[in-house]
Amino acid sequence: DGGITQSPKYLFRKEGQNVTLSCEQNLNHDAMYWYRQDPGQGLRLIYYSQIVNDFQKGDIAEGYSVSREKKESFPLTVTSAQKNPTAFYLCASSPLALEYGYTFGSGTRLTVV
Amino acid sequence: GESVGLHLPTLSVQEGDNSIINCAYSNSASDYFIWYKQESGKGPQFIIDIRSNMDKRQGQRVTVLLNKTVKHLSLQIAATQPGDSAVYFCAEIFTSGTYKYIFGTGTRLKVLA
């Protein structure tokens, strides 16, 4: 089945640690996105990529980094510079034409301990 | 995630009744709109979409209405079922020029048995 897979489902980070969230898709979508979801707020865009080896900052990129070495993969690193990383992180993909909407992964819940 | 719905407006509906969920969007230039459903601990799922040149679109048990005059979108769910319990949010998309995808904060739908 085609889809988008995020792992792990739950992740715990200690203060000062970098952690990486995985996102893989087999939908042959060109574009991939990372969103952060907090209670009572709409999804906020962290980074997006429309082509391999290229990505752009979204609205809240500070403290995060990404790479897009393969079309299928778009990992997100939450660095120690992100002061409030506890949130639900969603990865999505889409064809370049946005009229088809996004396909979302099942999310990763990151908690700082 | 599990905590996403805690601070959202809640609509409680009796099983079998119709549900109406509303969304106000921000930009009159948005030309495409999508409703998503997000169950607890999962990623959002596409429900139905509508283009700005339409004012109504029907799917299976769902109808989306678009009022461009007041920048309002609604999702109607007929014969609401327990499986409809989730957070619902709208997204507005500008598809021309520099695209932008904006998500609403969402409404939590509770179906009462």
Question: Nearest-CA distance from A98 to chain B in Å?
Answer: 7
**Residue B7, amino acid:** H
CA A40 to CA B10: how far, in whole Å? Answer: 12
Q: Which of A39, A88, A102 sits opposite B7 (nearest CB)?
A: A39
Residue B59, pLDDT > 90, answer yes
CB contact under 8 A, B105 and A40: yes
Q: Nearest chain B residue to A33 by CA: give it.
A: B101
Mean pLDDT of A28-36: 95
Residue B109, pLDDT > 80, answer yes
Residue B6, pLDDT > 60, answer no
Mean pLDDT of B99-113: 89
Residue A89, pLDDT > 90, answer yes
B27 pLDDT band, cuts 50/70/90, is confident
Q: At residue A78, what are phi and psi to the nearest 5 degrees?
A: -95, 110
CA angle A111–A7–A87, rounded 5-degree value: 25
Residue B68, pLDDT > 70, answer yes
Contacts of B8 in chain A (CB under 8 A): 39-40
CA B2 to CA B38: how far, in whole Å? Answer: 10
Mean pLDDT of A59-67: 96
CA B93 to CA B88: how far, in whole Å? Answer: 17
Mean pLDDT of A47-51: 94
Q: Using H for helix, E for strand and C for coil, what is the string for chain B?
A: CCCHHHHCCEEEEECCCCEEEEEECCCCCCCEEEEEEECCCCCCEEEEEEECCCCEEECCCEEEEEECCCCEEEEEECCCCHHHCEEEEEEEEECCCCCEEEECCCEEEEEEC
B98 pLDDT band, cuts 50/70/90, is low
Contacts of A60 in chain B (CB under 8 A): none
Residue B2, pLDDT > 80, answer no
CB contact under 8 A, A104 and B8: no
Location of structure tokens 């029907």: B58
Judged by CB atoms within 8 Å, which residues 13-72 of B form the interface with A? Answer: 32, 34, 36, 41-46, 49
- Give pLDDT tens digits for B8-23: 899 999 999 999 999 9
Residue B37, pLDDT > 80, answer yes
Q: Which of B3, B36, B99 sits opposite A98 (nearest CB)?
A: B99
pLDDT of residue B3: 44
